[in-house]
Structure 1
Amino acid sequence: MRLFLFSFLVALFAAFALASAPTKQIVVTYEDPNTPQSVIDAAMQAIKDAGGVITHEYNLFKGFAAKASEKAIEVVKTAGDKYIPIIEDDIVYTTQDA
């Protein structure tokens, strides 16, 4: 019984620790029109592997939107050598005063 309770508490603590990692909403784009899809797929997989979520894949330009931790963002930033990603905060722009 004690082992079960201890295991349960450790699992609960681990879940809270992972859930508490702050995430940012970002947009990742690639300026080079010759960027291969495999580069974009690798960046999306890196975000998923770090616990992030892909929220949208763009078709009009090469890129995607995601919710990711700072760690995941750093992985994507440093992974590009020939095809450098542009990573921006995903915010709403308006043309009118709010």
Structure 2
Amino acid sequence: MKLTLFAILALATVVLSAAKPQKAVIVSYPDDTPDSVINSAMDAIKTAGGMITHEYKLIKGFAATAPAKALEMVQTMGNDYHAVIEEDQIASINN
């Protein structure tokens, strides 16, 4: 009986955590930002159930899908190096 109850609770936790809405974003930092700040932001997103979809080399930053709560946390993490978080969108030169 206890095992069945535990299994049901575990399944409910997985379903509820997967149901969090995820946003596709691009996170960028100033050029003088240390890699440790960027790595901690990526770790925070992964811990919150998000996923890093791309790490940029020409600019300091990355693309990710993450819950809004994780993005708020990343925004407040850097005191000296403020993250610019913008929604990932398709850019076009036509209408």
The answer for the alignment partner of 1:9 in structure 2 is: 8
Structure number with greater Rg is: 1
Distance 2:78 2:34 in 1: 12
How much is the aligned-residue C-alpha RMSD, in angstroms? 0.8
Distance 1:10 1:33 in 2: 45
- Equivalent runs, 1:1-98 vs 2, <5 Å: 2-30=1-29, 32-97=30-95
- Percent identity, please: 44
Unaligned runs of 5+ in 1: none
Aligned residue pair count? 95
The TM-score normalised by the length of structure 2 is 0.96
The TM-score normalised by the length of structure 1 is 0.93
Distance 1:15 1:35 in 2: 35
Unaligned runs of 5+ in 2: none
